[in-house]
């Protein structure tokens, strides 16, 4: 049962046309494209039951984030006041987890076509959950 530490194991990666942070919108709802979620073969059994049309929450790890940031200006707008990162969706935060509500567009073996999602190409995925109805 469990492990002594809190080490995440990526279960897959995002394959996206968004190649850099400069290309990415701040939220999926702001014009983000669809992308592939490529699940490692060793976790493929955990996809059983996911169907086209399902609504999922994909949890990513923003591996390029700055984990030392505790306050920021929301939406990187200098007119906004300094705000605690727990009151924002900034990727810079102590544990840079990203929550992405997406729809499943297609399924090809271990790959899910999902979107819209603002995560850039290569972003590690650490969990997938159904949206609770």
Whole-angstrom distance, CA of residue 95 vs CA of residue 82: 19
19 or 89: CB nearest a second copy: 89
Whole-angstrom distance, CA of residue 75 vs CA of residue 27: 10
12 or 16: CB nearest a second copy: 12
Applying CB under 8 A, the residues found at the interface with a second copy are 1-3, 5-11, 27, 29, 43, 45-50, 54, 56-57, 59, 61, 63-67, 70-71, 81-89, 93-95, 97, 99, 124, 126-130, 132
CB of 106 to a second copy, least distance (A): 16
In the chain, the largest separation of any two C-alpha atoms, in whole Å, equals 48
15 or 126: CB nearest a second copy: 126
Asked if 97 and 85 count as a contact pair (C-beta separation under 8 A), the reply is no
Asked if 97 and 59 count as a contact pair (C-beta separation under 8 A), the reply is yes
CB of 26 to a second copy, least distance (A): 10
Take residue 116 and report the two structure tokens written for it: 């819209």
CB of 80 to a second copy, least distance (A): 10
CB of 86 to a second copy, least distance (A): 4
Take residue 108 and report the two structure tokens written for it: 């090809």
16 or 123: CB nearest a second copy: 123
Asked if 37 and 123 count as a contact pair (C-beta separation under 8 A), the reply is no
CB of 114 to a second copy, least distance (A): 12
Asked if 65 and 92 count as a contact pair (C-beta separation under 8 A), the reply is yes
């Amino acid at each position: 049962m469990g492990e002594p530490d809190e080490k995440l194991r990526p279960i897959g990666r995002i394959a996206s046309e968004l190649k850099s942070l400069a290309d990415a919108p701040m939220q999926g709802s702001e014009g983000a494209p669809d992308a592939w979620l490529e699940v490692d073969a060793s976790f493929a059994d955990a996809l059983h039951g996911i169907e086209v049309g399902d609504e999922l929450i994909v949890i990513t790890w923003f591996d390029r984030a700055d984990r030392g940031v505790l306050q920021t200006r929301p939406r990187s707008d200098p007119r906004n006041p300094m705000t605690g990162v727990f009151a924002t969706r900034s990727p810079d935060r102590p544990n840079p987890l990203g929550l992405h509500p997406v729809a499943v567009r297609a399924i090809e073996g271990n790959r899910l076509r999902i979107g819209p999602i603002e995560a850039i190409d290569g972003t590690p995925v650490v969990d997938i959950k159904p949206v609770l109805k």
